[in-house]
Amino acid sequence: MDSFWSRTARMPQFAPLKDSLQTGVLVIGGGMAGVLCAWLLKQAGVDCVLLEAGRIGGGTTGGTTAKLTAQHGLIYDKLIRRFGLDAAKLYWQANQDALERFRLMSREIDCDFQDKDNWIYSLDDREGLERERKALEQTGAPVKFCQDPPLPFDTVGAVGVPGQGQFHPLKFLAAIAKDLPIYEHTRVLGWKPGEVRTAYGAVRAKQVIVATHFPFITNHGFYFLKLYQSRSYVLALRNASAMDGMYLDASGTGLSFRAYGDVLLMGGGGHRTGKGKCGWQSLEDAAKRYYPNAEQICRWAAQDCMTLDDAPYAGRYSRRTPGLYVITGFNKWGMTGSMLSAAMVTDMILGRKNPYEDLFSPSRTILRPQLAANALEAAASLLTLRKPRCPHMGCALKYNPAEHSWDCPCHGSRFAGDDGAVIDGPANGGGSFSL
């Protein structure tokens, strides 16, 4: 199902790997995070290669709403309570640095970058907005408050940050990827220290970066407990009301808005993969209610990895895997998350100290309430006496009639409804589940 971005960008094509090779750094995964890693490493003069199982930008990067902001919902009040003010300031600075990197690079890239204010609105929680405004002020962010945001329904206000941005993610990705050493249609089937295996041969590398959305190496790092996946949905509408700025509902269950020229992107309907109903119907109902004269020109779904504490995992894959790095868990904020993670992991490979290493370390504590929820979901699915089963870790799959797929509620793998082929990982191997 093509997104608006994939319909309006011309992506470079790369041949599959046909033989074994050796490189200094291997990047696995051709989304925004992986391609940025390869680009930054090449800029630093590092010998590297990128392998992508399908086409670059063909996963979550192609399904993003492409907001470039350090304001990620009502997160700063949570960060201060969980980690303290210093950590919240670091989180703000890391994402602002990422935004500025995009802004600087976009001066040389035709990717329709625009400065925009970002807003988090609420239908009924004025107190939550006020807490977030205070938290943002404590971090030093230039926060402001709007009593009556220009939305097609009533709210109790919106807390905003000026000078954020939006762009065309695939135009940007195409520009930085075109001269990189990339192999498409090359799925990595296994890893051991210093080497990965593909269907066409082995790739030997001293250091490996796993940027595959959900990490596929299951016997290290406990990512099957530290992550779950969430699906969300987007409509592209023409002839809807003009909207200046980017908007998101504070509850996480409402609507998201941003414009691209004369097209309004309206998102929402999110739910845990394999749980709940497809959200397109609720979005289409909202479009009819708020924009009755609008034309729907396309729709698509995206899938995001969610961490235990709302911050990405970026750094060493685990304490027992020297030379192996991971980038994952952007919690629906994959653009700034990709940039800050790619810059941080590149610094680590080059032996440079990065100020954000500890904040985003994958080895930080997992003692968070979401851990129990993930474990219970996995246990319930494993004990379900139903086939088919997910080949990743054996969880029972659930049929998704709206998208004609079999979805895993444990870790978010998805399989085509007709032949069982892998659509989304962490299930790997290019094969299908068995009935």
409-426 tens-digit pLDDT: 888 788 887 777 888 878
Query: Pairing state of beta strands 182-183 and 313-316?
Result: unpaired
Task: With beta carbons less than 8 A apart as the criterion, state whether 37 and 207 touch.
Answer: no
Q: Which CATH fold would you assign to the domain 369-424?
A: Rieske Iron-sulfur Protein (2.102.10)
For the cut 90, the answer to whether the pLDDT of residue 269 exceeds it is no
3-state helix, strand, coil in the chain (%, to 5): 25, 30, 45
User: Residue 431 has what pLDDT?
Assistant: 47
Alpha-carbon distance 316 to 319, whole Å? 7
CA 362 from centroid of its chain's CA atoms: 16
| 303-314: average pLDDT | 95
Please, what CATH class does the domain formed by 4-64+171-225+310-349 belong to?
A: alpha beta
Per-residue pLDDT of 377-407, as tens digits, reads 777 777 677 778 888 877 888 888 877 788 8
What token pair was written down for 366? 């997992």
The residue ranges of every structural domain in the chain are: 4-64+171-225+310-349, 369-424
Backbone conformation region of residue 194, classed left if phi is above 0, alpha if psi is from -120 to 50, else beta: left
| 4-11: average pLDDT | 96
User: Residue 430 has what pLDDT?
Assistant: 47
Coil/strand/helix, residue 266: strand
For the cut 70, the answer to whether the pLDDT of residue 1 exceeds it is no
What average pLDDT is seen over the chain?
Answer: 92
Task: With beta carbons less than 8 A apart as the criterion, state whether 380 and 398 touch.
Answer: no
Tell me the whole-structure pTM to 2 decimals. 0.94
Per-residue pLDDT of 146-192, as tens digits, reads 999 999 999 999 999 999 999 999 999 999 999 999 999 999 999 99
Query: Pairing state of beta strands 201-210 and 324-328?
Result: parallel
Q: Poorest-confidence range of 80-89, 139-148, 249-258, 274-283?
A: 274-283
Nearest-CA neighbor of 226 among 357, 372, 125, 333?
Answer: 372
For the cut 60, the answer to whether the pLDDT of residue 433 exceeds it is no
Name the amino acid, one letter, at 335. Answer: M
